[in-house]
Amino acid sequence: MFATVTLSLLMGFLSTLKLFILTLVFALPLGLAISLGTMSKVAILKYPLKFIIWIVRGTPLLLQLLIIYYGPGILLRNNVWGSSDSGRFIAALVAFAVNYACYFAEIYRGGIQSIPVGQYEAGQVLGMTKGQIFRKVVLLQVIKRIVPPMSNEIITLVKDTSLARVIAVYEIIWNGQAFIKSAGIIWPLFYTGAFYLIFSGLLTVLFNRLEKKLSYFR
Amino acid sequence: MSLLEVTNLKKNFGNTEVLKDISFSMEEGQAISIIGSSGSGKTTLLRCLNFLETPNAGKIAVRDEILFDGSDPKTFSEAEIRRKRLHFGLVFQSFNLFPQYTALENIMLAPKLALKEQHKQDNGEIRERGLELLNMMGLSNRADNYPHQLSGGQQQRVAIARALALSPDILCFDEPTSALDPELTGEVLKVIRELADNHTTMIIVTHEMAFARDVADTVIFMDGGNIVEQGDAKQVIENPREERTREFLAGYNG
């Protein structure tokens, strides 16, 4: 039994991992684009983006998942995602990517805006271009500042993936819970916790290493 | 032909006139000290020279080349401004060293980038010059230390070396010792005095009156956005002509 359960949970975890990695692939750069937009002087860029960030960070991800999956069907009378497994996965991915991009955007913005203006001015009086100042002076300082809050968000993402089950995306918790009906046992559900613990533990170690690498300067 | 000629410079921030009508000139090898109370416009003047602020009117010229002319919009382009900044160096009150680079790397960064832009080869001259400058500052043994490992006085001296690495025509200091403990002030003033003795052209905004009197050739006293008095350093500080200068200096003599 244990082997069967473990195998099933592993399959589910693979799906969890897929969602996790793809969300990051899209949300990390999208977040940067959004944060640059919120810091821009162009009002038609800045204010709509701030509004979107407020909505996306201000409502439960669970709700966003449901709205994104069912919304088009209700509004346009056409389920754009299709009812296949991959269609629901893509819908979940869109919801996660947008949600996390908004959180990342605020972290990036905090990091960028916390760099003292003196750093930019020192670069300027030394004849550096804006690009050089960003790449050679500001970027590493921003990265150092955002590692702790980013690691928080990314570890949260691991666990948030379990929400995808609400639109029937098969991930580890779904698989764990299936055993309640099929075999009348609940421990597989609790067993999923082990997978989350190990994975987030790994991420924690990775982020600690990164923080340590950046600790040579203050 | 003067090295630097500033004519009728004006700068407003919103409704506040910070620089009302500033005119002065300086020769190569001259050291000018600018004194005045907070809000007199001294820092804004330095920032205008370094193109960190754009004046609203007036002219700035170095060796008769007009770097800024308020009446001629051509002088406002970004790429041009970069080139013009290189006539000046600026040492900040808060040092502004780059924390992720060592002392030597801080000094070498801008010259290396400039060299790359000109598609020239770096044959180690930049590193050599950097070590030479650190030696001048008495910091040869600190080349591989990061700013957070250095005292305020050491950081400021690295900042001075960093500004010198680009060989600016005029080195500007914006209250270089104001952020330092009194004990650390001395080591920085010593270095600036040595630079002055070597006829480095410099403008020093400072509250250290004794230093201004002894090291500068000329002292300019600013108040409310205007130059109230300027002249020989010893004369202005020990025997000022203007009443306001007298009032200001009285505050320093207790």
Is B45 found in the same domain as B138?
Answer: no
The pLDDT value recorded for residue B254 is 45
Is B28 found in the same domain as B138?
Answer: no
Return the CATH number at B64: 3.40.50.300
Asked if A182 reaches chain B (Cβ–Cβ under 8 Å), the answer is no
> Looking at the predicted structure, is the pLDDT value of residue B113 above 80?
yes
Is B184 found in the same domain as B83?
Answer: yes
When pLDDT is averaged across residues B36-54 and rounded to a whole number, the result is: 92
Q: Which chain A positions have a beta carbon within 8 Å of B83's beta carbon?
A: 127
Domain assignment of residue B109, given as a range: 96-167
Tell me if A125 and B113 make a contact (CB, 8 A cut-off).
no
Tell me if B99 and A141 make a contact (CB, 8 A cut-off).
yes
Map tokens 């969300």 to a residue. A23
The pLDDT value recorded for residue B75 is 58
A125-139, A142-156, B72-86, B108-122: range with lowest mean pLDDT: B72-86
Distance of alpha carbon B19 from alpha carbon B47, whole angstroms: 11
Is B183 found in the same domain as B130?
Answer: no
pLDDT in tens, A45-98: 999 999 999 999 999 999 999 999 999 888 888 888 887 888 999 999 999 999
> Looking at the predicted structure, is the pLDDT value of residue B22 above 60?
yes
Task: Find the helix or strand (DSSP H, E) in which B6 lies.
Answer: strand B4-13
Nearest CA in chain A to B113: A128
User: B118 falls in which pLDDT band (50, 70, 90)?
Assistant: confident
When pLDDT is averaged across residues B29-54 and rounded to a whole number, the result is: 93
The pLDDT value recorded for residue A116 is 96
The pLDDT value recorded for residue B38 is 86
Distance of alpha carbon B146 from alpha carbon B130, whole angstroms: 15
Domain boundary residue, one of B167, B197, B220: B167
Is B121 found in the same domain as B234?
Answer: no
> Looking at the predicted structure, is the pLDDT value of residue A18 above 90?
yes
* Least Cα separation, residue B144 to chain A (angstroms): 12
Is B205 found in the same domain as B101?
Answer: no
Rg, C-alpha atoms of chain B? 18
Is B108 found in the same domain as B36?
Answer: no
When pLDDT is averaged across residues B219-241 and rounded to a whole number, the result is: 93
Asked if A128 reaches chain B (Cβ–Cβ under 8 Å), the answer is yes
User: Under DSSP, is residue B64 helix (H, G, I), strand (E, B) or coil?
Assistant: coil
Percent of chain B residues topping a pLDDT of 90: 81
Task: Find the helix or strand (DSSP H, E) in which B158 lies.
Answer: helix B152-164
The ipTM assigned to this model is 0.93
Q: Which chain A positions have a beta carbon within 8 Å of B92's beta carbon?
A: 118, 121-122
Is B136 found in the same domain as B71?
Answer: no
A192-196 long-range contacts, CB within 8 A, separation 24+: A192/A9, A192/A12, A195/A9, A195/A13, A195/A16, A196/A158, A196/A159, A196/A172
Is B16 found in the same domain as B127?
Answer: no
Task: Find the helix or strand (DSSP H, E) in which B13 lies.
Answer: strand B4-13
Q: Looking at the partner chain, which of B82, B86, B96 has a beta carbon nearest the beta carbon of A122? A: B96
* Least Cα separation, residue B247 to chain A (angstroms): 33
Is B207 found in the same domain as B104?
Answer: no
* DSSP 8-class letter at B170: E
Nearest CA in chain B to A214: B100
Domain at A15-172, CATH class:
mainly alpha
The residues, ordered by sequence, that sit 6+ positions from B228 with a Cβ below 8 Å of its Cβ are: B221, B222, B242, B244, B245
Task: Find the helix or strand (DSSP H, E) in which B172 lies.
Answer: strand B170-174
Is B196 found in the same domain as B159?
Answer: no
The pLDDT value recorded for residue B91 is 97
pLDDT in tens, B101-110: 999 999 999 9
Q: Looking at the partner chain, which of A118, A141, A218 has a beta carbon nearest the beta carbon of B94? A: A118
* DSSP 8-class letter at B52: S
pTM reported for the whole predicted model: 0.89
Tell me if B96 and A141 make a contact (CB, 8 A cut-off).
no
* Number of domains into which chain B is organized: 2
Domain boundary residue, one of B167, B189, B224: B167
Is B146 found in the same domain as B214?
Answer: no
